[in-house]
Amino acid sequence: MSIVDATTGPRQAESVLRPGAMLGVLGGGQLGAMFAVAARRMGYRVTVISDVDGVPAARHADRFEVVNYNDLERLAAVAAKIDAVTFEFENVPADAGRAMAAVTRVHPSPDVLSITQDRGREKAFLTEHAFRTTPHRLVESRESLQQAVADLGLPGVLKTASFGYDGRGQMRLAADADLAAAWNTLAADRCVYEAWVDFAMEVSVVVARGLKGDVAAFAASLNAHSRHILDVASCPAPLTPAVAAEAKEMACCIAEKLGLVGVACIEFFVTRDDQLLVNEIAPRPHNSGHLTIEAAATSQFEQQVRAVCGLPLGSTACVSEAAMANLLGDLWSEGEPDWAAALAVPGVRLHLYGKGAARPGRKMGHLTACRPTVADAVAAVIEARRRAAPAVATEGRVY
């Protein structure tokens, strides 16, 4: 049975929100900022709801509300003045979504949020609906970790069930001696142990599903990581036509089974024999989809606006081969990067998120390039980043 993305609020029956409506986004980071930019360009007003002040999305908002995500009464009061609410990130309490859903439309639904913010529930959902994943076990004690390792072998990866991203909340286990230290270090009541997969590449597919059940998926992007953080994304990924089509089809099927309304990113491992394994589901726009701003007929952020408002989904056609390189706070270690030098590389676009402190590993912005070939686009963003901070950026990796 699929999860139905519907709310019980009084505005449930309204299928189309026209420009001028007030849209709310829970979360104030760069994803919320880019959603707000797309929404305001289309004539919508935006309320940004964050639990902290001074966030990037606030500068693009018509209204900005600082609310503790556990203050359900206050969240409901704010939501009552909003025509539809969506999420910028999934690590907020599902009860926050439920409180808002009592008074207005919330997409994706709190049930979708609950599934995707917990690796154990997410793996159970994928398994129930016969989507291939890495072999895994739910782990709730040191003893069950030992059993999981006995079942699946070593090496493997132990991941916290919740609040893990960019490599946080996970540890690689290579020997039996690693088990106790990993369990104590992660210090979580619930974890997932995954067998090690010798995959050929990681790709992601951003998919949208509208109020009427229409679905549309972007072409898969190839993801290259450094220090467990996405470093460079390029599109289209180097997949065979059959595997590329299967990745889009699987992403659409997952969105349908979830009953998603909005945008999600499905991350896949591609094995050396061209099998697709679902790694994770993110129920919102994704870092790897930023290149759709320049490289697709409709960006992932406009697609989110369209889906939430009940509008027809836009075309996901690629208008160019493209690549995106993240700009982490490490680039600022020698001072402000030389953006003029970076932008001297033909075809490169700069996106800075407006964050205050540049800390190592913090995503401060990204560069995008559209070129005739993927290889050209990757080379362009890597060269532009190198020119921005020659002493820091080396060989397309930020250290």
In the predicted model, is pLDDT for residue 167 greater than 90? no
pTM of the predicted model, to two decimals?
0.94
Going along the chain, which residue ranges are E strands? 22-26, 45-50, 63-66, 84-87, 105-106, 136-139, 156-160, 170-173, 191-195, 199-209, 215-217, 221-226, 229-235, 262-271, 276-282, 321-328, 348-352, 363-371, 393-394, 397-398
Alpha-carbon gap, residue 283 to 251, rounded angstroms = 12
Please give the pLDDT value at position 90.
86
The tokens for 67 are 């609310």
With contact defined as beta carbons under 8 Å apart, do 154 and 174 qualify? yes
How many residues in total does the chain contain?
Answer: 399
In the predicted model, is pLDDT for residue 393 greater than 80? no
CA dihedral 116, 117, 123, 129 (to 10 degrees): -20
CB 314: neighbour CB atoms within 10 A? Answer: 18
Please give the pLDDT value at position 5.
42
Q: What is the pLDDT of residues 235-292, one digit of tens each?
A: 999 999 999 999 999 999 999 999 999 999 999 999 999 999 999 999 999 999 999 9
CA angle 336, 341, 344 (to 5 degrees): 145
Lowest mean pLDDT among 12-26, 115-129, 350-364: 12-26
In the predicted model, is pLDDT for residue 2 greater than 70? no
What is the pLDDT averaged over residues 319-333? 97
Going from the N-terminus, what domains does the chain have, and what CATH number goes with each? Answer: 22-116 (3.40.50.20), 135-195 (3.30.1490.20), 199-398 (3.30.470.20)
With contact defined as beta carbons under 8 Å apart, do 105 and 84 qualify? yes
What is the pLDDT averaged over residues 329-334? 95
In the predicted model, is pLDDT for residue 10 greater than 50? no
Alpha-carbon gap, residue 199 to 209, rounded angstroms = 29
Alpha-carbon gap, residue 168 to 177, rounded angstroms = 21
Alpha-carbon gap, residue 386 to 394, rounded angstroms = 7
Share the mean pLDDT of the chain: 93
Q: What is the pLDDT of residues 84-124, one digit of tens each?
A: 999 998 888 999 999 999 999 999 999 999 999 999 999 99
